[in-house]
DNA sequence: GTAAAATATAAGACAAGTCATATATCGAGG
DNA sequence: CCTCGATATATGACTTGTCTTATATTTTAC
């Protein structure tokens, strides 16, 4: 359901091809919504079928067929409804890393510390990645979408990016405090 | 893949039935891993097939068949590997609420404020729920699992719960600051 | 000039998760 | 006594998402 809504969102900026959409998802939404290429094309098909988008076919130099899709009035309506009617399920995600934290007590104390260190390392890499891409992706995003930096649609994208860094950072801090707790307990037992 | 790992995690505490597992998921993991009843039973079947768990069938009063499953050595190994070898994909979740924030710039300024207020309201409800269940679920969890409060497995469950409240709270704070930004911009334009 | 990388779309097979429905027992309340 | 809610398991149909492979062109680098 939601990949389709995401596609409608991008197409509300300007008409795009499946390939363009894949690039945009990768550069701006990959950390909270990985988009599979095969599914993008299948979603486009479905959206055309229900009248939310329509095709404007370009035959680029008579050989490469690049299919550009544009959002319809109906599609805009669907998108608007999705944005303005939040559902509880929109906030409940499948988070393996949390299930792992939840179950980490099944490990020995030392292994649990190893587990936390490994999660911290992984998160560090993710934060670094988001930071590195901060400037770079933003301009690529601006170029591909044609949005100016002070466009509210651009700013909204920046907010989401900011949350990515903040939430990973906050989680890393929590892990550090849990680690300290566990180490403190260990010391207690030794005394 | 991950529901199976979650099931292995619960079964590493003690042998349980599909019904028990459903209750445990609901009371302790629902906000980060909603478990569908049908899928629990299908996962159990699969786990038995690959030798990660085994059945100990009880015929309660000759009529109600309650199937209790226990984790095997192989299952414990699988669980341990999953916990100790974190993958990048474990940290990348499908988050509709973030996609919505990302795309919210497509709305008019007033509608975007409405959108933020509605997300805030929804999150307020979720935080309240987590807080309410804090004591209540913990004891239900302790009773069902038979874990004592100072068991590390119990403590790990509490950490995950704590993160739920903290992350929702942090996100709500971010939304408030975004809202303030948007309102400030609006004022700028009026001057 | 040619090999590799990027552009561009698509189908097949499968895994994972959701929703609805079916079945059957048991205990509690009216 | 009988309905309702809880206990308990299971199947079917479906949606969503992933992974692999195929095809064909164009641009870039050596």
**Among A71-75, A88-92, A111-115, which stretch is predicted with the lowest mean pLDDT?**
A88-92
Question: CA B52 → C1' D10, Å?
Answer: 21
Q: What percent of chain B has pLDDT over 70?
A: 92
- Helix/strand/coil for A147: coil
Window 74-113 of B: residues touching A by CB (8 A cutoff) are 79-80, 82-107, 109, 111-112
Is the per-residue pLDDT at B60 higher than 80? no
Please tell me which residue, B64 or B120, carries the higher pLDDT value. Answer: B120
Whole-number pLDDT of residue A134: 74
Is the per-residue pLDDT at B64 higher than 70? no
Least CB–CB distance from A115: residue in B84, B93, B171: B84
The pLDDT tens digits for B85-140 are 989 999 999 999 999 999 999 999 999 999 999 999 999 999 998 988 776 667 78
Is the per-residue pLDDT at A190 higher than 60? no
Q: Which two tokens stand for residue A69?
A: 């899709």
The structure's pTM equals: 0.93
Residues of B within 8 A of A104 (CB-CB) are 83, 156
Strand partners, B66: B58
List all nucleotides in chain C with at least one atom under 7 A from a protein Cβ: 7-13, 15-21, 24-26
Q: What is the DSSP letter of A35?
A: -
**Preferred mutation among B24, B161, B163, B173 to probe A, highest tally of A CBs within 10 A:** B163
Please tell me which residue, B159 or B59, carries the higher pLDDT value. Answer: B159
Alpha carbon distance A166, A176 (integer Å): 15
The pLDDT tens digits for A3-21 are 999 999 999 999 999 999 9
- C-alpha closest to that of A154 among A141, A164, A167, A136: A141
For A36-56, b where at least 16 C-beta lie within 10 A, e where not — what string? eeeebbebbeebeeeebbeee
Helix axis angle, B37-49 to B18-28, nearest 10°: 120
Is the per-residue pLDDT at A92 higher than 60? yes
Decide if B6 touches A, using CB distance below 8 A.
Answer: yes
Q: Given pLDDT bands bounded at 50, 70 and 90, which one contains residue A57? A: confident
In sequence order, the 6+-apart residues with CB closer than 8 A to the CB of B164 are: B31, B32, B130
Helix axis angle, A73-84 to B96-103, nearest 10°: 120
Q: CB distance A90–B6 less than 8 Å?
A: no
Please tell me which residue, B66 or A72, carries the higher pLDDT value. Answer: A72
Whole-number pLDDT of residue B2: 87
- C-alpha closest to that of B188 among B111, B109, B112, B117: B109
Alpha carbon distance B93, B90 (integer Å): 8
Which nt is closest to the CA of B39, judged by C1'? C17
Whole-number pLDDT of residue B37: 97
On whether the CB atoms of residues A117 and A173 are closer than 8 A, the answer is no
- C-alpha closest to that of A178 among B89, B81, B46, B157: B157
Whole-number pLDDT of residue B139: 79
Window 108-137 of A: residues touching B by CB (8 A cutoff) are 109, 111-112, 114-115, 118-119, 122-123, 125-126
């Amino acid at each position: 359901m939601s990949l389709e809504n995401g596609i409608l969102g991008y197409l509300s900026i300007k008409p795009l091809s499946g390939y363009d959409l894949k690039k945009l998802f990768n550069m701006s939404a990959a950390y909270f919504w990985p988009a599979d290429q095969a599914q993008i094309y299948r979603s486009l098909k479905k959206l055309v079928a229900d009248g939310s988008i329509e095709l404007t076919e370009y035959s680029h130099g008579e050989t490469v067929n690049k299919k550009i899709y544009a959002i319809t009035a109906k599609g805009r309506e669907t998108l608007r409804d999705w944005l303005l009617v939040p559902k509880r399920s929109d906030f409940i995600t499948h988070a393996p890393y949390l299930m792992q934290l939840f179950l980490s007590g099944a490990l020995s104390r030392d292994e649990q510390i190893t587990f936390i260190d490994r999660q911290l390392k992984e998160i560090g890499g993710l934060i670094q990645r988001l930071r590195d891409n901060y400037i770079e992706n933003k301009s690529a995003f601006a170029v591909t979408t044609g949005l100016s930096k002070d466009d509210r649609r651009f700013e909204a994208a920046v907010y989401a990016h900011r949350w990515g860094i903040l939430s990973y950072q906050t989680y890393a801090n929590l892990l550090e405090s849990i680690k300290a707790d566990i180490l403190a307990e260990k010391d207690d037992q030794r005394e």
